[in-house]
Amino acid sequence: MTWTTLVDAETLMNALRSPTSSSRPLAVVDARVDLADRSAGARRFAEGHVPGAARVDLETDLSGPHYPGAGRHPWPSDDAFAAVLGRLGITPDHQVVVYDDAQGALAAARLWFMLRLWGHEAAAVLDGGWSAWQAAGGAVETGESRVADAGPYAGVFDDTRLLQTDDVVALRPEDGVVVDARAAERYRGDVEPLDRKAGHVPGALNRPFASNLDGGRFKSPSRLRAEFDALLDGRPAASLVASCGSGVTACHHLLALEHAGLRGARLYTGSWSGWIEDDARPIATG
């Protein structure tokens, strides 16, 4: 069985207990991060993680050097990501399962989408994340990762699904709609805890990523499909351009869409933090 969107804690537990029962070797990745404390991810991993997991860092592994319009978490280069995958022990043969402690939003869905654009279909997010693993009584390992470097996993990103700030500036209504995954108060511009300006890209719609969840788990594919169909209002899924603060939580929408059977949506990599790098760009509020 290949998992391509989500997997529950009990299923992962069983696979780890009986690794020979799967046709693919497992690669579990811990993507926990705290945007306010960059040392928190490594500390949490050392205190406890899924046995055999490797740790990935949002800032150094899932982001690259800054360039104009890139925002707070620039998309990395092909070569850099190939090396990261190798360090995580991931090869084309692996079934990848990635988790965080934010229901997939920080930053499990980001790695999942990166793998999807790399052409690696056998990748899934642990539904409910670390809290679901603990609630299910999953075993816990402490200390540093013992995963061996598998060497660079050669490949390239499918950049047709990645929009830069200039692409969003030129985006016409008939070509796509930006859907902002931030909380409603950030979208409206009432508060802004991370970026220097508040508001949203003019014309963007708002669907907070938490709308994809029910009780901390992803809603059923049928519920998600009905909700996204209503949001898209007759547009194809490929017209949706997911955005957030920096291109991380937006990937939660991309995962939810694919779980609902709606493929082809795109990511605004720079998102709000990339948009506001140029003070001349318009800002919408309310």
The residues assigned a catalytic role are 244
Alpha-carbon gap, residue 127 to 7, rounded angstroms: 6
Helix, strand, coil fractions of the chain, as percent rounded to 5: 35, 15, 50
User: CB neighbours (10 Å) of residue 230?
Assistant: 9
Type of residue found at 158: D
User: CB neighbours (10 Å) of residue 229?
Assistant: 14
For 280, phi then psi, to 5°, come to -80, -10
